[in-house]
A and B are shown apart, each in its own frame.
Chain A
């Protein structure tokens, strides 16, 4: 019993500190890069904004997989008994969504685009329903990048 408990406590503490460190670092980097790529506009509308009709259109995408840490998993497990906002997973998914969009924007920039329209997000859980495993979440952001073409 004791060994189990120590093992559990160690994992919990490790999960908490490393998970929190990684999350802080990641959010800092996300905010910085969002500032940097602010000029690349993203829209979820399907239709081209006026004035963009004469553009080169290409598929761009960015995906990210983030793992749950042990602490988040335990906290969410406790939350699952009583119900309510699973705040530990909320921040995880927020990170994943923003990171995926940033990577899509990076792809767009590499292709010389100034705008991405019809942006969509897909989510997949890597460890579906396998209770004993630490879960990971994948988010894939994709859209149509528009690069202005020289007027002929």
Chain B
């Protein structure tokens, strides 16, 4: 009997299909699925979060960033005066914006060069000196405060938190199925893009709400555009394309203010910022 090893034909264990074809189909398919799941989850989370009472949100925020930032920094007497001035203005704007019963805001003044201001959990507004000192008049400051108060009215911070938790949890469990960090990376980036474009809608709404508040408070909206001009100067480094940015493009925001301004024909002088504020800013620099 003759023994032999016959040649085994190629291609039994190795598929002839181009590896890139499979990769592209899988990557795009899974990418699309992820976007869908993230969109659905963040929609549902955003909707459910509105059922959390504001009082619960407030108690949550005592352990959060807002509380820690206000406790850590000891304000001087002058800075306390600024804070209470801001608080007073905010309280008046809260009335003008007709916030629901039981909802209020707490302003925290931070003596720092950062050109920023933001609203966070529990109705806490963080206002940096860097932004306030650039504002030319009270009308621009009121626009800024109204915009942040509008975020509180939308419940934007807790919605963001709810979405973040829901989406983060879902993505972590999806990527847990694969063996690798890569799906985490891929999936994480898709998630970020989607969550950004959601909060942009809230920014647009907050601008409109703030302009309506100014209309009620001053009887006109002129001067609101100064806020965006200041913000634009502050970020002269690089303007990201619209889809990548949380806030709408400045030109569009100024255009929106202009459309509101057209409604009131007479020229009303802007209200100046109080003197002690200007003095304190000068010494701070």
Which chain A residues have a beta carbon within 8 Å of chain B's beta carbons? 1, 4-5, 8, 16, 20, 31, 34, 38, 41-43, 49-50, 71, 73-82, 85, 87-88, 90-91, 93-94, 115, 131-132
Verify if B181 is at the interface (C-beta below 8 Å from A).
yes
Give the B interface residue count (CB, 8 A): 30
Smallest distance from the beta carbon of A53 to chain B beta carbons, Å?
14
Chain A binding surface, main DSSP class: helix
Evaluate whether A80 and B178 lie within 8 angstroms (CB atoms) in the complex, with A5-B189, A38-B5 already known.
Answer: yes
Shortest Cβ distance from A35 into B: residue? B7
Report yes or no: B5 in contact with A8, Cβ–Cβ below 8 A.
Answer: no
Point out which of A4, A8, A74, A76 has the most chain B C-beta atoms below 10 A from its C-beta: A74
CA distance A47 to B121 in the complex (A): 78
Smallest distance from the beta carbon of A101 to chain B beta carbons, Å?
10
Cβ of B20: which chain A residues have Cβ within 8 Å of it? 16
CA distance A20 to B14 in the complex (A): 13
CA distance A75 to B90 in the complex (A): 54
Verify if B174 is at the interface (C-beta below 8 Å from A).
yes
Shortest Cβ distance from B6 into A: residue? A38
Report yes or no: B14 in contact with A131, Cβ–Cβ below 8 A.
Answer: no
Report yes or no: B26 in contact with A80, Cβ–Cβ below 8 A.
Answer: no
Cβ of B177: which chain A residues have Cβ within 8 Å of it? 80-81
Verify if B23 is at the interface (C-beta below 8 Å from A).
yes
Report yes or no: B189 in contact with A77, Cβ–Cβ below 8 A.
Answer: no
Verify if B52 is at the interface (C-beta below 8 Å from A).
no
Evaluate whether A90 and B13 lie within 8 angstroms (CB atoms) in the complex, with A49-B3, A78-B30, A81-B174 already known.
Answer: yes
Report yes or no: A79 in contact with B26, Cβ–Cβ below 8 A.
Answer: yes
Contact with A along B154-192 (1 / 0, CB 8 A): 000000000000000000001001111111011001001
